A and B are shown apart, each in its own frame.
Chain A
Amino acid sequence: GAGVSQSPSNKVTEKGKDVELRCDPISGHTALYWYRQSLGQGLEFLIYFQGNSAPDKSGLPSDRFSAERTGGSVSTLTIQRTQQEDSAVYLCASRPSWGAGNTIYFGEGSWLTVV
């Protein structure tokens, strides 16, 4: 696609429920990132994929968080047993593997509210 696509754009869920957030990267981009941004704050790295593998998942805040990527394309971030502190914007980004200094491009984000 033309840009990084994320869905849902907005999600309100009850505490304790599971949520899935989807990211469709730019076509041909092999690297994919998930970040979290709390209201008006900076970016918190969650996980990085190269192809379907995740060589760096150091930013996942707890074992309630998991992510997978299939076919070297779409990625899903799953949050189990959501808590109110999980409320944030979840940003996905992708970049091509070639080219020194290549840029990561972000989607519009999935706004998660846990009530």
Chain B
Amino acid sequence: AQSVAQPEDQVNVAEGNPLTVKCTYSVSGNPYLFWYVQYPNRGLQFLLKYITGDNLVKGSYGFEAEFNKSQTSFHLKKPSALVSDSALYFCAVRDRDNFNKFYFGSGTKLNVKP
């Protein structure tokens, strides 16, 4: 079965420091991986995705994510956090066997303190 896990419910970081939001996946074959962000009282916004190619994927708002096949991880990173990055972040994997299925993690709340 395909699944994705976000082991941290919450991540706290000081403004200006680097941030990492963790995601691990379990899929058969090569995964399609996604990150979304949800600001308070809003829908989910697409940040970035990994399909194939370079393991380091760059996305919106200065975020990037590194695909690590051996560790089955797809951690979201940003070199310097902003207070405005505070939001709920979701990792998702798309099922290659059933192309229509997207599996979402439980979400990680990022708090960036000034």
Q: B22 at interface (Cβ–Cβ under 8 A)?
A: no
- Are B51 and A101 in contact, CB atoms less than 8 angstroms apart? yes
Give bound CA distance, A50 to B98, whole Å: 13
- Residue-wise interface mask of B (69-98) relative to A, using a CB-CB cutoff of 8 A (1 in contact, 0 not): 000000000000000000010100010000
In the assembled complex, the Cα of A42 lies from the Cα of B103 at a distance in Å of 11
CB proximity of A95 to chain B, nearest CB, Å: 9
- Cα separation A111 to B42 with both chains bound (whole Å): 10
- The answer to the question of A100 belonging to the interface, with a C-beta cut-off of 8 Å to chain B, is yes
One of A43, A48, A103, A111 near B34 (C-beta < 8 A):
A103
Asked whether, in the complex, the Cβ of A105 is within 8 Å of the Cβ of B46, the reply is: yes
Q: Chain A, 86-115, contact with B by CB distance < 8 Å: what is the 0/1 string? A: 000001010000001101111111010000
List residues 1-46 of chain A with CB under 8 A from any CB of chain B: 4, 6, 31, 33, 35, 40-43, 45
A106 touches B44 (CB 8 A): yes
Q: Check if B107 sits within 8 Å of A108, measured CB to CB.
A: no
**Chain A binding surface, main DSSP class:** strand
- Report whether A103 and B100 are in contact in the complex, using a CB–CB cutoff of 8 Å: no
Q: Which residues of A contact B36 (CB under 8 A)?
A: 106
- How does the 8 Å CB contact mask read for B14-42 relative to A, with 1 for contact and 0 for none? 00000000000000000010101000011
**Chain A residues near B106 (CB, 8 Å)?**
41-42
B55 on the A face (CB < 8 A):
no
Cβ-based interface call for B43 (8 A): yes
A-B pair number, CB within 8 angstroms: 50
The reply to whether A103 and B42 contact each other, CB–CB distance below 8 Å, is: no
Confirm or deny: A55 has a beta carbon within 8 angstroms of a beta carbon on chain B: yes
CB distance from A2 to the nearest CB of B (A): 14
Q: Are A50 and B100 in contact (CB under 8 A)?
A: yes
Given A103-B49, A108-B42, 17 more pairs with CB closer than 8 A: A4-B43, A6-B43, A40-B109, A41-B106, A45-B102, A48-B100, A50-B100, A56-B100, A56-B101, A101-B49, A101-B51, A104-B46, A106-B43, A106-B44, A106-B45, A107-B43, A108-B43
Q: List 9 A-B contacts (CB under 8 A).
A: A4-B43, A41-B106, A41-B107, A50-B100, A101-B49, A101-B94, A103-B34, A103-B46, A108-B42
